């Protein structure tokens, strides 16, 4: 079995549609048949307006099937010319049967297919025939149905509605001229032809009402001749009532923590250290520790550099019997109260001779009587070392 090609489709363009209805399923089938007397081939196109099926038979296949359907000897005639003439006569007979007049004399029955997707058995008074077409696929089916059925129907419909005369009353010659005129215009500009054929109110509404009637709609649309022009202007802002948006704002009540101003953290105050009661008073009244202001960030020592001697963390205690003195540094009023004591400077050892026994006794008596200044923390008395 040969494949259905574009050449077979072109050969079927000049053939008329034939209709047969299956009595058991009430399904209408449309047929197009063509044959060639040159190579003795036959082609059939079948559709139910939804799918398309086709079958192409060669000369040998046609002869074998005819003999099988009519229960004849399968073997061909011994003479080749006689066999070819026999095939030509029976193929012409089959072509006459697939005509408008001969197709009415045939009966159609659906049978179980053995080779294709559909089996159609046709019977006449003296012979039988069987077609077994195969499905062409959805894309090819759509193209064939559109080319062979839908587009011609649209053009004929346009001819029927645009003609001033009734097509049924025209003579065949006049109807051919009118058909050719519409066809020539349609094939030049297919898009314009489709638009003019279906955009007329009378045609469009008639087609709409026929569609609704054919599909059992309860309410049928009316057929109109003038569609009119609706107002296609966009609505303005005055006609659009926009919904009011009500925004609710929650009142913010200030709390106690909102009213408190930000305060800088106060550095802890360090108590001022007083000098020990055992220190020397050779320079007058007993000297006290001098409080230094905390250095500002710009005054901090750079990493890797030793701090200056005047900013020592703690003052080392003096040796027994030696007097200690302090280097007083003025305290800035803008600096905080956090300070570090100055580093005690070592005096030469010759100052040990200034201490005397009488001075130590006088200072001890003053401490006992309470005449000395009060100290923050009571320090134990340091006795002087023995003199050698």
Q: What is the pLDDT of residue 188?
A: 92
pLDDT the model gives residue 282: 43
Query: What is the chain's pLDDT, residue by residue, as a tens digit (388 residues)?
Result: 688 999 999 999 999 999 999 888 889 999 999 999 899 999 999 999 999 999 999 999 999 999 999 988 878 888 889 999 999 999 999 999 999 999 999 999 999 999 889 999 999 888 999 999 999 999 999 999 999 999 999 999 999 998 888 888 889 999 999 999 999 999 999 999 999 999 999 999 999 999 999 999 999 999 999 988 888 888 887 655 555 565 555 555 555 545 555 555 565 555 554 444 444 444 444 444 444 444 454 444 444 444 444 444 444 444 444 444 444 444 444 444 444 555 555 544 444 545 567 777 888 787 777 654 455 566 666 666 666 5
Tokens at 62, concatenated: 């046609």
Q: Is the pTM of this model over 0.75?
A: no
Q: What pLDDT does residue 365 have?
A: 80
pLDDT value for 278: 44
Q: Please list, in sequence order, all residues whose beta carbon lies within 8 angstroms of the beta carbon of residue 359, skipping any fewer than 6 positions away.
A: 281
Contact between 130 and 44 (Cβ < 8 Å): no
- HEC string of 50-110 equals CCEEEEEECHHHHHHHHHHHCCCCCCCCCCHHHHHHHHHHHHHHHHHHCCCCCHHHCEEEE
Q: Give the DSSP H/E element, type plus range, for residue 139.
A: helix 138-145
* Segment (H or E) for 253: none
* Contacting residues for 341 by C-beta, under 8 A, at least 6 apart: 273, 289, 290, 291, 292, 312, 314, 315
């Amino acid at each position: 079995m040969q494949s259905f090609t574009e050449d077979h489709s072109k050969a079927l363009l000049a053939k008329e549609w034939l209709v047969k209805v299956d009595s058991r399923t009430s399904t209408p089938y449309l047929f197009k048949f063509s044959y060639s007397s040159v190579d003795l081939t036959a082609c059939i196109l079948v559709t139910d307006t939804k799918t398309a099926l086709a079958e192409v038979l060669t000369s040998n296949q046609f002869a074998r099937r005819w003999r099988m359907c009519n229960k004849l000897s399968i073997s061909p005639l011994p003479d080749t010319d006689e066999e070819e003439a026999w095939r030509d006569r029976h193929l012409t007979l089959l072509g006459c049967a697939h005509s408008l007049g001969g197709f009415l004399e045939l009966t159609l029955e659906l049978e179980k297919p053995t080779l294709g997707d559909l089996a159609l058995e046709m019977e006449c008074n003296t012979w039988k025939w069987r077609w077994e077409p195969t499905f062409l696929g959805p894309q090819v089916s759509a193209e064939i149905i559109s080319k062979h059925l839908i587009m011609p129907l649209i053009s004929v419909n346009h001819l029927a509605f645009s003609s001033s005369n009734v097509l049924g009353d025209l003579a065949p010659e006049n109807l051919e001229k009118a058909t050719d005129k519409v066809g020539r215009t349609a094939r030049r500009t297919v898009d314009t032809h489709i638009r003019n054929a279906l955009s007329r109110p009378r045609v469009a509404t008639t087609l709409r009402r026929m569609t609704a009637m054919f599909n059992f709609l309860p309410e049928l649309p009316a057929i109109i001749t003038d569609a009119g022009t609706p107002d296609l202007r966009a609505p303005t802002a005055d006609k659009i009532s926009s919904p009011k948006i009500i925004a609710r704002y929650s009142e913010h009540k200030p709390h106690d923590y909102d009213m408190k101003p930000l305060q800088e953290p106060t550095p802890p105050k360090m108590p001022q250290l007083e000098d020990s009661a055992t220190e020397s008073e050779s320079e007058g009244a007993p000297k006290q520790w001098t409080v230094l202001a905390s250095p500002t960030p710009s005054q901090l020592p750079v990493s890797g550099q030793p701090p200056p001697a005047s900013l020592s963390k703690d003052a080392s205690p003096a040796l027994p019997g030696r007097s200690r003195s302090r280097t007083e540094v003025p305290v800035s009023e803008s600096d905080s109260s956090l300070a570090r004591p100055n580093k005690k400077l070592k005096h030469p050892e010759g100052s040990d001779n200034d201490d005397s026994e009488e001075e130590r006794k006088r200072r001890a008596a003053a401490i006992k009587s309470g005449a000395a200044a009060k100290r923050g923390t009571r320090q134990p008395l340091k006795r002087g070392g023995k003199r050698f």
